[in-house]
């Protein structure tokens, strides 16, 4: 069982195929990649890679939301 004090990756910001991407990059199983993301397994290189993917995903989501808000403001002007 994962220790709740270990950092976890917010998977909602990862691309749909994040397990496959990590497995291919690090020659590990998709299950192992998932365990690293959930904090159940320690692997700094995989964790940093997934964290970078999540940050990029969050930035992309924030930009899309800002664009939606801008379009709504133009529509309601």
- The pTM of this model reads 0.81
**Cβ neighbour number for residue 6 with a 10 Å cutoff:** 13
pLDDT tens for each residue of 58-71: 999 999 999 999 99
What is the DSSP annotation of the chain?
---TTS----GGGS-TTHHHHHHHHHT--HHHHHHHHHTSS--HHHHHHHHHHHHHHHHHHHHHHHHHHHHHHHHH-
pLDDT band at 1 (very low <50, low <70, confident <90, very high): very low
């Amino acid at each position: 069982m994962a220790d709740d004090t270990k950092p976890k990756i917010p998977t909602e910001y990862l691309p749909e195929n994040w397990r496959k991407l990590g497995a291919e990059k690090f020659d590990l199983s998709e299950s192992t990649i998932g365990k690293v993301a959930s904090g159940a397994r320690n692997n700094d290189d995989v964790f940093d890679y997934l964290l970078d993917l999540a940050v990029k995903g969050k930035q992309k989501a924030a930009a899309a939301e800002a664009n939606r808000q801008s379009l709504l403001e133009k529509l309601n002007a």
